[in-house]
Amino acid sequence: MAVRKKQLFIDIHDPLTGEKITTWINANLDNFVKKINAGLSECVIDLPYNFDYSGSDVTEGNFVKISISDNDITAGTTKLIYWGFISMIEAIVADRKESLTVHLLGFYTLFSLDILRDDLTTVVEYTAEDIGAVMRDIISKYKLANPTSEINYTNLTIPDVGEDITYSFKRTSYQDAIDKVRSLAPANYYFYIDENNTVYFKAKPATATHTFILGRHFSAVKAQRGVEKVKNSLLLWNGETVSPIYKRYEDSNSVALYGKRTEVVDDYGISDEPTADMLAANYLAENKEPEIVLTVEIFDNTENPDGKGYDLENIKPGDTCKFVGFSEGFISKYLTDNMLITSIIYSLDKVELTIDPRNLGIIDWQNQTAKNIHSAVSDNAPADYTE
């Protein structure tokens, strides 16, 4: 097969009409990050323009679609790898050198900038509803409140989970609401917003999506193992004094091995004990074991006639993987046959994967304190606002 050089295409679109404004030529892309329980991170583009360039394509809010073509894609077609919007522009002139840099953000970042609501009501309650249905409803409410948003989903990308929750959101951002639903789902569930702005909410795959071979797809791996983040005891209170839910949950095996390591959580949205029990079970399942994190650099197969490398664009956060080529001792200590890819630093010629063999590294509960204070204040806030 003839080897084709990897090519980059960056198209700029009007955010209101969707019409293409132009294609940036000879632009330089360094890298960007894709993560589970998030989406596409900031992407920085260096443009071969003078610092005082004032074309309509370099305007905050414009949509930017980045695509590539290579050997893994049918000739004459491209594959979308990033779809975001211009968030910041840097124009610099110094020592007779001029530069113009454009910063992009993924659309998921806008979830944190608006409040979950139902018309004018900022108290949104769900009673004995499937977790997947709650997630779909939150995204639907976001789309209704933000009609120009490119975020989308289907019942296949956000299926029913098979577990019901009862929960009350009060003056909660869409991002925090999504994070909360994720934390209430069974262990090993995650969400992800991809390059098409499609929201996925699903369980970790049961078998490995990718097999990476030492010497063929990568040449080195870094492994870390530690107990610093182990939590095997959870003291949970729903903030109520009349009908409180105040319980301690523990994993006895983990306590015996590593000592008692307690997390205190006040969650003012929990309305019934089964929901509290699900949150605690999920939390302990994903935090009771030592944290094991692998980082590995996978190189691209484009322009590699010797057959080495991998189709980088086929690797997604939330996929799972296994490795071939390590000793049995290393495998037994650090690896499993179905490890979760939690983060991808994407460059055109390589990706750096962060892999968590045992759990999802879910919501950072150390950030819970500030949210608890907000929840306590919101508990007495009016349900409706005026315009």
76, 107, 138: which is the final residue of a domain? 107
Q: List CB contacts of 74: < 8 A, sequence separation 6 or more.
A: none
Whether residue 221 sits in one domain with residue 177: no
CATH number of the domain enclosing 173 = 3.55.50
Which CATH number does the domain housing residue 72 bear? 2.40.10
Same domain as 215, residue 119? no
The predicted pLDDT at position 58 comes to 95
DSSP code, position 198:
B
- Helix %, strand %, coil % of the chain (to 5): 20, 40, 40
**Number of domain units in the chain:** 3
**Is the same domain home to 126 and 174?**
yes
Pair (300, 326) in one structural domain: yes
Neighbours of 42 (CB within 10 A): 14
Q: Which domain range does residue 87 map to?
A: 7-107
pLDDT digits 0-9 by tens, 280-289? 888 888 888 8
- Same-domain pairing of 183 and 195: yes
pLDDT of 379 strictly over 80: no
Residue 338 domain-assigned?
yes
Q: Is the pLDDT of residue 273 over 80?
A: yes
Same domain? 116 vs 100: no
Structural domain includes residue 266: no
Query: pTM score, two decimals?
Result: 0.84
Query: In 3D, which of 350, 343, 344, 346 has the Cα closest to residue 300?
Result: 350
Mean pLDDT of 254-260: 92
Higher pLDDT, 347 or 370: 347
Q: Are 95 and 142 members of one domain?
A: no
Tell me, yes or no, whether 102 and 52 share the same domain: yes
Q: Are residues 39 and 131 in the same domain?
A: no
To which residue do tokens 């999504």 refer? 178
Contacts (Cβ under 8 Å, ≥6 apart) of 306: none
In a domain, 78, yes or no: yes
**What pLDDT is stored for residue 375 in this prediction?**
52
